[in-house]
Structure 1
Amino acid sequence: MSVLKKISVLGIIGLICTSCSSIDIFKENAEIPIRKPYQTFVIINQEVDMRGFSSQFIDEQVQIKLQEELEKSGMVYDKEQPDVVIRYTSNEDRRQRTSSNYSNPYPYWGYRVWDPWAASRYMNPNYGTKTTNYELLQVIVDFIDPKQDKFLMTLTGVTEVTSPKTKSKRVLSTVDRILDTFISEISQAKE
């Protein structure tokens, strides 16, 4: 395969990946640096029955995802003496986006009689506008050192959800990205 074809294929794959709603991760509240690889953790939401999401189903999925992924990375769930306390919450904000599109779906010739008032954006204020409902979703995960009672970091994942059917999938993808960031921070820590 020629170099030009490889670049074209990679460009198309990149375009497909970026056309989906992105997930942005922000690191905040780093009160103390990560000094060692942590071995044990506890999810405080699970222990005190505190919900972080409006949907109980999504909340349970997030708890399961957090526990499974951290255990895959080699950490152990220990509610008695954890090295890291994990707390999560969410901001689920319903919003609307209005976009303008002044292309006329009914041309002035052909299938209908020309009517300058019906297709005018000046006489009809809703002409050419489209309103889309979406939800701005923030998944906020705090990683706390219980011995010093200070934040190791707060990781916030921000994404947009356009359909209630895809909300659970978007939340879990955001949690994956947050955990990837946390695990990479732990692996780079100095002992």
Structure 2
Amino acid sequence: MQKLSIITLFLIVLTLSSCSSIELFKERTEIKPYKEYTSFVIVNKEIGSSSFKDELIDAKVANELEVKMKELGLTYDSKSPDLVIRYSSNEDPRQKEVYNNQYPMWGMRVWDPWMFDPRFMGRQNMVSTKNYELLQLIVDFIDPKQDKMLMTITAVSEASGTKAKNKNLIKSAEKVVGAYKVHMKEN
């Protein structure tokens, strides 16, 4: 019985965690890491530049990047950092078509003896549009000593509301730092 509840709990967690997909793209690698970086600075935070329309979201992303980099063992140093982090965003409002099923649970209602359904009378094309926002968090990791790009990581996700947007951008920042960690261990 306990084994069944553990499996059920695992499936629920797996389902909930897979609802929001965030794709990462590693781009523009000019140099390979030639040393272990020990300190960093976030340029946007130092100069007061906001990359998002909403300043609260911008502050949350900057904070998440800082916290996750500190968790990797790096220290925040605004005077002489080993690594410079700069981020920007692209918030693109979009629409997509949603096709509603005119024949719920019966497929094409082939075997349904009651073919008449007043809910769908005269509705041949049941298409609606859904508004959403395509979010891109673009993070540049720059080596200030060589003045070259260590790498650029872009996290792409979709959000249909402010709450989902906050959640996706914080997860995106977390995944970007995770990708940075993997990149540093590969080389």
- Residue matched to 2:17: 17
Secondary structure of the 2:46 match is helix
Counterpart check, 1:109 vs 2:116:
yes
Instruction: Pick closer, same or farther for the CA change 1:17–1:111 going to 2, 3 Å.
Output: same
Secondary structure of the 1:31 match is coil
Instruction: Pick closer, same or farther for the CA change 1:111–1:67 going to 2, 3 Å.
Output: closer
> What whole-Å deviation, never above 9, does each CA across 1:29-65 have from its counterpart, x for those lacking one?
1000112220010111011111111110011111111
- Residue matched to 1:78: 77
Kindly state the Cα deviation for residue 166 of structure 1 after the two structures are TM-superposed.
2.1
Kindly state the Cα deviation for residue 169 of structure 1 after the two structures are TM-superposed.
1.4
Sequence identity (%): 40
Question: Structure 1: how far apart are the matches of 2:4 and 2:167?
Answer: 35
- Residue matched to 1:97: 96
Secondary structure of the 2:141 match is strand
Q: Give the 5 Å matches for 1:1-191.
A: 13-18=13-18, 20-103=19-102, 109=116, 118-119=122-123, 121=124, 127-189=125-187
Kindly state the Cα deviation for residue 136 of structure 1 after the two structures are TM-superposed.
0.4
Question: Structure 2: how far apart are the matches of 1:98 and 1:47?
Answer: 42
Question: Structure 2: how far apart are the matches of 1:110 and 1:72?
Answer: 59
- Name whichever of 92-101 and 137-146 sits farther off: 92-101
Secondary structure of the 1:21 match is coil
Question: Structure 2: how far apart are the matches of 1:186 and 1:129?
Answer: 47
Cα pair 2:20 2:168 within 8 Å, conserved:
no
Cα pair 1:33 1:152 within 8 Å, conserved:
yes
- Residue matched to 1:124: none
Cα pair 1:37 1:187 within 8 Å, conserved:
no
Secondary structure of the 1:38 match is coil
Gaps of 5+ in 2: 105-113
Question: Structure 2: how far apart are the matches of 1:68 and 1:6?
Answer: 32
Instruction: Pick closer, same or farther for the CA change 1:15–1:69 going to 2, 3 Å.
Output: closer
Question: Structure 2: how far apart are the matches of 1:77 and 1:42?
Answer: 6
Instruction: Pick closer, same or farther for the CA change 1:110–1:183 going to 2, 3 Å.
Output: closer
Structure 2 counterpart of 1:92, one-letter code? E
Question: Structure 1: how far apart are the matches of 2:48 and 2:31?
Answer: 27
Q: TM-score, normalised by structure 2?
A: 0.83
Cα pair 2:133 2:158 within 8 Å, conserved:
yes
Kindly state the Cα deviation for residue 70 of structure 1 after the two structures are TM-superposed.
1.0
What is the RMSD computed on CA atoms of the aligned residues? 2.7
Question: Structure 2: how far apart are the matches of 1:12 and 1:134?
Answer: 25
Cα pair 1:36 1:186 within 8 Å, conserved:
no
